[in-house]
């Protein structure tokens, strides 16, 4: 069957794989569009989804990152690495500040300082409260820290953070803002009726918990739509619904299984054996296509034509 227009993509399934992981199945796709869409969606998911991160911090008594902190097991560089792993979601468009003040434990020889110990403003959410910041090994030491949290997309180098930091006496951090941790995609061949020149795209998305996979997936596609719309100018291209996908104006009877059409057993079996499973699959075929089906003769053709006349 010759396709005259590039039909629209169809999100056929969304499968939840875990708390922060989901799989999106797009089918059927115009031939070759599995990799075209898969690559572009994956790149935007990994590079351009809005997120929040700590971009600068300070520790009382510490003037630069290349030093040790008396009373803390880790040096400042180790603390920086731990801070970069804290997952945040900020509802503010402006940089926000947070603080931490905690004293060593008198009962434990070494007490862990966790992300949940940070006093966050109301418009900031924490994704991984048990992320370790450092360990206090002196029960009399009081750790005091200040943080700057900002929204962004992609990656900020430490030079970017230094140029834009609110407080010059703070230590700048390079930041990965993306809340998307992993994206995988797979392309397979699929068919609708006798049209075998179609593809299925499966995209698996894992986030850090500050955003759902569905939200990330939709934001990535919205970004792509904005980019391509700006480049298209006033040009439009004719499109059609994806084959086999019902639209609001379509007759729901097209989804009726062949077995429920009231055909003779021989005719129904011939259609099903040729992967014609619904009325929609059937009406997509021309009379010549039907005659070419294995085990399908003129008598079966006449029976099908009569039945479709009754139904449609």
Over residues 50-101, the pLDDT tens digits come to: 999 999 999 998 878 778 888 899 999 999 999 999 999 999 989 999 999 9
The first and second tokens of residue 138, run together, are 């002196």
Q: How far is it, in rounded angstroms, from Cα 302 to Cα 62? A: 88
pLDDT the model gives residue 53: 95
Query: Comparing C-alpha atoms, which of 259, 245, 243 is closest to residue 192?
Result: 243
**How many residues belong to the chain?**
312
Identify the residue with better confidence: 57 or 2.
Answer: 57
pLDDT band at 20 (very low <50, low <70, confident <90, very high): very high
| CATH number, span 51-176 | 2.170.120.12
pLDDT band at 312 (very low <50, low <70, confident <90, very high): low
Q: Percent of the chain scored above 90 by pLDDT?
A: 48
Q: How far is it, in rounded angstroms, from Cα 44 to Cα 220? A: 6
pLDDT the model gives residue 107: 59
pLDDT tens digits, one per residue of 150-167: 999 999 888 877 776 677
Evaluate the CA torsion angle 229, 39, 200, 220 in order and state its sign.
negative
pLDDT band at 4 (very low <50, low <70, confident <90, very high): low
Q: How far is it, in rounded angstroms, from Cα 31 to Cα 242? A: 12
Q: Percent of the chain scored above 70 by pLDDT?
A: 92
Crossing angle for the helix pair 298-311 and 265-273, to the nearest 10 degrees: 90
Q: Say whether pLDDT at 1 is over 50.
A: no
Q: How does DSSP assign 63-111, residue by residue?
A: -SSSSB-TTBSSBHHHHHHHHHT--EEE--SS-EEEEEEEEPPSSSSSE
Query: Comparing C-alpha atoms, which of 71, 37, 79 is closest to residue 54?
Result: 79
Identify the residue with better confidence: 128 or 235.
Answer: 128
Q: Considering only the top CATH level, what class is 252-311?
A: mainly alpha
Mean pLDDT of 263-284: 83
User: Among 3.40.50.720, 2.60.120.260, 1.10.10.10, 3.30.1360.10, what is the CATH number of 11-49+180-232?
Assistant: 3.30.1360.10
pLDDT the model gives residue 251: 53
pLDDT the model gives residue 245: 65
The first and second tokens of residue 42, run together, are 């994956």
What is the end-to-end Cα distance of the chain in Å, rounded? Answer: 22
**Domain-by-domain residue ranges, the chain?**
11-49+180-232, 51-176, 252-311
pLDDT the model gives residue 248: 47
pLDDT band at 294 (very low <50, low <70, confident <90, very high): confident
Mean pLDDT of 232-252: 67
Stated as kind and residue range, the H or E segment containing 253 is: none
pLDDT tens digits, one per residue of 111-137: 899 999 999 999 999 999 999 999 998
Q: Say whether pLDDT at 216 is over 80.
A: yes
β pairing state of 155-156 and 88-90: unpaired
Contact 224, 237 (CB under 8 A): no
């Amino acid at each position: 069957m010759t396709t005259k227009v590039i039909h629209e993509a169809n999100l056929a399934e969304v499968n939840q794989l875990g708390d922060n992981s989901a799989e999106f199945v797009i089918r059927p796709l115009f031939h070759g569009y599995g990799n075209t869409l898969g690559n572009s969606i994956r790149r935007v998911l990994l590079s351009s989804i809005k997120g929040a991160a700590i971009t600068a911090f300070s520790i009382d008594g510490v003037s630069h990152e290349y030093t040790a902190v008396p009373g803390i097991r880790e040096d400042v560089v180790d603390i920086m690495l731990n801070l970069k792993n804290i997952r945040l979601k900020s509802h503010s468009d402006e940089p926000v500040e947070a603080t931490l003040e905690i004293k060593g434990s008198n009962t434990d020889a070494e007490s862990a300082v966790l992300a949940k110990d940070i006093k966050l403003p109301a418009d900031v959410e924490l994704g991984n409260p048990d992320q370790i910041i450092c360990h206090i090994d002196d029960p009399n030491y009081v750790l005091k820290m200040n943080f700057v949290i900002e929204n962004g997309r992609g990656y900020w180098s430490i030079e970017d953070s230094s140029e834009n930091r609110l407080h010059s006496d703070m230590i700048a951090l390079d930041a990965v803002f993306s809340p998307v941790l992993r994206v995988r995609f797979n392309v397979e061949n699929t068919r609708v009726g006798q049209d075998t020149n179609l593809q299925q795209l499966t995209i698996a998305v894992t986030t850090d918990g500050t955003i759902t996979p569905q939200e990330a997936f939709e934001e990535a596609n919205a970004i792509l739509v904005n980019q391509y719309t700006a480049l298209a100018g006033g040009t439009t291209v004719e499109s059609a619904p994806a084959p086999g996908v019902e639209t609001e104006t379509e007759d729901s009877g097209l989804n009726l299984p062949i077995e429920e059409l009231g055909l003779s057993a021989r005719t129904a079996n011939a259609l099903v054996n040729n992967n014609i499973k619904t009325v929609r699959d059937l009406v997509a075929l021309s009379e010549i296509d039907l005659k070419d089906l294995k085990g399908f003769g003129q008598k079966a053709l006449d029976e099908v034509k009569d039945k479709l006349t009754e139904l449609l």
